[in-house]
Amino acid sequence: MDLLPTPSHSTAYAADETFTLAPGTTLEAGPGTEGTARWLRAAVGAATGLPLPSGDRSADGVVRLAVDETVPGGPEAYRITVDPASGVRITGAGPAGVFWGAQTFRQMLGPDAFRRAPLREQAWQVPSGHLSDAPRFGWRGFMLDVARHFMPKDGVLRYLDLMAAHKLNVLHLHLTDDQGWRLEIRRYPELTAKGAWRERTKVGLRESTLWDERPHGGYYTQDDIREIVAYAAERHITVVPEIDIPGHSQAAIAAYPDLGNSDVVDTAALPVLPSWGVNPNVLAPTDEVLRFYENVFTEVLDLFPGKFVHVGGDECPKEQWRESPTAQTRIKELDLEDEDELQSWIIRHFDRWLADRGRRLIGWDEILEGGLAPGAAVSSWRGFAGGIAAAQSGHDVVMCPESHVYLDWRQSDSPDEPVPIAHVRTLEDVYRFEPVPAELTGEEARRVIGTQANLWTEVLDSARVVDYMAFPRLAAFAEVAWSELPAPAERDWAGFEARMTTHYARLDALGVEYRRPQGPLPWQRRPGVVGRPKEGPPPIV
């Protein structure tokens, strides 16, 4: 069946006995499984042309969905039993488990079950037997940077479907950055009127002299976000919004110049940034700026019901604060040691502010500098060190080291890779990624609540290029996040590659423009666009 991610527990199938779905096959949806029943009718129904009407008995067999809390392995665990005569039973420990079971069931039906209409008359068969499965991690994340290049709403919904097919359950949306603000905030309309648009765009990275002279931009209205969040929830995916502070904020400053360090630079002259890199124009550490962002986060909380809110915190150069009389006065008033503590003071402020509202702060590992806010969780991106330190001091960690799961890094050392940046990270490298470092033991290791693959889009200017960089590596990542795999060196890479043959057929049926094993197709190359390839193995910080 070539399931991907591979089930964590047992599978036992009889090769020669199958259950065949037929026009009379009914769907019986127990309490708590209504959402999965809707998904099955919409997705599997479309692919097979079978109506799957409601009913608990049928001569053509029944697909039964049920929640049973005694299924071991946590709320996302599930079991599937297929009997040649009576049909299919998908039992989840909770509603999410039923949904992941339905995803497995679609894989069992074959790659054509991933299309949106039947190709021809065919027998929809699943092998009889029993399967039991549960995820290794509760946070199986994918971060999409919609700030550098905007991805219209439809593209995000499509990615939610792709995530669901891979049993990924957290979509981290990087909504704001120097190059664009992508979320409608009612109270501050200029954030999108001005901050969502840039005049032109650097094509390639620093050394590049090429520009795309077309304006670029776009944003999600609050209704778009409600739709995205609801679509995700129906698929048991949580959307974690990121509003990046106090660095990576030039788009906000371009919209509201008082947010910047106007005693150091002429913030009124700052555009939405058309190029890339770590940027000195950061927020001013004033009460007005805190109030502004409290108001922004108030609307964010209203839109995103999930527990975690990401406040960024990465790459905040401190030069302007060092020069700014306002910032220096603040440091003295608060009796702080230095500018790092000033950043930490801002993050702590929002940690408390979010906690008071029943939420939890998560930020990039720089939030460890100058003292980590109590209760905060850390996205460990500069290697594993930040995550290890955070876990050892009792903070929750999402492991997403750039050295392993930054999907904007090039996939081979061929000059044909479109915009070859950073180090080579192959499909096999991702497959051999281990999110829990050996240094962590017992209680500390349990602080690693999950893992995430991050896709930054400086050089990914369309959904087609996003597909190319995300896939197939996101499939390998999904297996790392879901399945109980042996230590990296012992992982069955050949077996994974063999299963990928079937999985490529699923991705083809889904219309994903993944990178082929033999490399980019001619139209996927971008000759002349300058990247920043780096030699040697990636740094393990």
Binds ligand TNX (CB under 6 A): choice among 161, 314, 340, 416: 314
Tell me the pairing of strands 448-455 and 397-399: parallel
Site string for ligand TNX, 342-381 (x = CB under 6 A): ----------------------x----------------x
Pick the closest to residue 293 from 329, 342, 256 (CA basis): 256
Binds ligand TNX (CB under 6 A): choice among 161, 190, 315, 416: 315
| Distance, CA of 278 to CA of 38 (rounded, Å) | 45
Q: Closest CB to ligand TNX among 5 and 383?
A: 383
3-state secondary structure of 246: coil
What is the DSSP annotation of 489-502?
GGS-HHHHHHHHHH
Closest contact distance (angstroms) between CB of 381 and ligand TNX is: 4
Catalytic hit among 28, 133, 145, 177: 177
Closest contact distance (angstroms) between CB of 208 and ligand TNX is: 15
Closest contact distance (angstroms) between CB of 506 and ligand TNX is: 28
Q: Closest CB to ligand TNX among 19 and 456?
A: 456
Pick the closest to residue 74 from 4, 135, 140, 5 (CA basis): 135
Closest contact distance (angstroms) between CB of 87 and ligand TNX is: 47
Site string for ligand TNX, 216-245 (x = CB under 6 A): ------------------------------
Number of chain positions touching ligand TNX (CB under 6 A): 8
2 is catalytic: no
Pick the closest to residue 321 from 251, 373, 263 (CA basis): 263
Closest contact distance (angstroms) between CB of 456 and ligand TNX is: 3
Catalytic hit among 60, 315, 338, 416: 315
Q: Closest CB to ligand TNX among 7 and 312?
A: 312
The CB density around residue 143, as the number of other CB atoms within 10 Å, is 25
Tell me the pairing of strands 397-399 and 360-364: unpaired
Q: Closest CB to ligand TNX among 177 and 444?
A: 177
Q: Closest CB to ligand TNX among 186 and 206?
A: 206
Instruction: Copy the structure tokens of residue 414.
Output: 């061929």
266 is catalytic: no
Exposure letters 422-439 (e unless 16+ CB within 10 A, then b):
bbbbebebbbbbbbbbee
3-state secondary structure of 62: strand
- Is the distance from CB of 76 to CB of 483 less than 8 angstroms? no
Residue 524 belongs to what H/E stretch? none
| Distance, CA of 440 to CA of 333 (rounded, Å) | 39
Pick the closest to residue 23 from 56, 55, 40, 48 (CA basis): 48
Closest contact distance (angstroms) between CB of 278 and ligand TNX is: 8
Catalytic hit among 149, 248, 310, 404: 248
**Tokens 């009612």 — which residue?**
186
Q: In the range 386-415, which residues lie near ligand TNX by CB under 6 A?
A: 406, 408
3-state helix, strand, coil in the chain (%, to 5): 35, 20, 45
Q: Closest CB to ligand TNX among 2 and 315?
A: 315
Site string for ligand TNX, 258-297 (x = CB under 6 A): ----------------------------------------
Closest contact distance (angstroms) between CB of 145 and ligand TNX is: 6
Q: Closest CB to ligand TNX among 76 and 408?
A: 408
Q: In the range 434-473, which residues lie near ligand TNX by CB under 6 A?
A: 456, 458
Closest contact distance (angstroms) between CB of 15 and ligand TNX is: 45
| Distance, CA of 221 to CA of 231 (rounded, Å) | 15
**Tokens 């339905």 — which residue?**
102
Q: If binding is defined by CB under 6 A, does position 159 make contact with ligand TNX?
A: no
Which residues 6+ apart lie within 8 Å of 57 measured at CB?
A: 26
248 is catalytic: yes
Q: Closest CB to ligand TNX among 108 and 254?
A: 254
Q: Please report, for residues 19, 279, 396, 441, the alpha-carbon distance to residue 391 in angstroms, rounded to integers and kept in the order given.
A: 47, 29, 6, 10
Residue 56's φ and ψ, nearest 5 degrees, are -100, 5
Q: Indicate which residues carry an active-site annotation.
A: 177, 248, 315
Q: Which residues make up the interface to ligand TNX (CB under 6 A)?
A: 314-315, 364, 381, 406, 408, 456, 458
